[in-house]
Amino acid sequence: METQFKKPISIAELKERYAKGERNFRNSDFDSGIFENLNLDGIDFEHSWFHSSIFRNCSLKNGNLKNCNLKCCEFDNSNFENVSFYNSLLCGSDFQNCELKGTDFTKAGFYGAELNTVDYLKHLSDKNNVA
């Protein structure tokens, strides 16, 4: 019998489930969440909502953040190598000192976003059109 997916109610619960091997956290909601010093490589947050959340000293390499709403978030000193932000909204978000090699920003919206100390343009290929 297949168990039904349950959204994590806290970052502590997400960490515990991730440590047990779970990677599907689609359609999750995090308001003012603080993700700090976490390895979340390969995580799948597609269609998730993050508002005023902080990602500091995290790794989400090869993660899926397609179709996400990441409004007013802080991304600091984190690794987003090969992460897909396809069709995501990053409005009012701030990237500082992040690794973005191979990151896909196709159809992503950046209205009001700050890309400080991020040389993201050198990592974008022709397929990665930034809106």
**Chain segment 69-81, per-residue pLDDT in tens:** 999 999 999 999 9
Tens digits of per-residue pLDDT, 120-129?
555 554 444 4
Q: Which two tokens stand for residue 112?
A: 């009001």
Q: Which CATH architecture best describes the domain 25-131?
A: 3 Solenoid (2.160)
